[in-house]
Amino acid sequence: MADMESLCQKVQVIAREMGSFLKKERETFDFDKVEEKSAHNYVSYVDKQSERMLVDKLSALLPEAGFLAEEGTGSMNDSGYYWVIDPLDGTSNYIHDMAPYCVSIALCDKTGVLLGVVYEVHRDECFYATADSAAYLNGKEIHVSKVSALTDAFIALGFPYNSDAYRPVAYRLIKNLYGFAGGTRLLGSAAAELCYVAAGRFDARIEAYLGSWDVAAGSLIVQQAGGKVTDFNNGNNWFSGEQVVASNGSLHDTILALL
């Protein structure tokens, strides 16, 4: 296994290369080629092409590792290591020429997430961490906020495509946050918003019915920045993306009580 710090640096280079590809493709993007996987859940030819490219680049970097990818490129194997990737997190934003959208890459083994890199294209921001390091943004160490009161909290929400199942939760959150929290936002990119929690821009982020590729890298970065990530029951079952609460830690119990 390569030195983790060196490997993380190489992954950052790949993430930026993929970001440049996304940005270039956006200039001539063809909306007519967008497909709908389920109600309002879109995938574009850019998602598919960029995923194939990303698998190729990461395979050359670490040939023994398998893949868990949103569009199914690559496969798991018995090596013990696997990449969890989303080459375009925030597809709806991307196809409507809105920010943020990003490249999300995590390397995992049976113990958990070993490294995470998230590159947000519009702001040219590369967030990264390893399981043994601090969290960084473009080379500068980052930390979660110290906000502890809901009235001061700036909270990111995600409304997943599984709207029927999530609607009761969404209503509850709106009821308990609107007019009570310092502010709420829906930005449309889970990976980017998790990193914004890590950087202290948001104090918490809440969503369900995601995939591991949406949350693996960003959640590691939150934790290494001093934050906390759990499921809705304060358990450690967040990796699947089914339920994810990320916070600065100080607000975590308050957020869980709202849920």
Binding residues for Mg(2+): 70, 86, 88-89, 214
Identify whether the C-beta of residue 83 lies closer than 8 Å to the C-beta of residue 93. Answer: no
Prior bond of 100 cis (ω within 30°): yes
Task: Specify the length of the chain in residues.
Answer: 259
Identify whether the C-beta of residue 97 lies closer than 8 Å to the C-beta of residue 91. Answer: no
List Cα–Cα distances, 234 to 74, 190, 214, 238, in angstroms: 32, 19, 19, 9
Query: What is the DSSP-derived secondary structure letter of residue 152?
Result: G
Distance CA 221, CA 105 (A): 11
Laid out side by side, the sheet with 135-137 consists of 66-69, 82-89, 102-109, 112-120, 125-130, 135-137, 140-142
Q: Which residues are annotated as a binding site?
A: 70, 86, 88-89, 214
Query: What is the DSSP-derived secondary structure letter of residue 31?
Result: G
Identify whether the C-beta of residue 83 lies closer than 8 Å to the C-beta of residue 106. Answer: yes
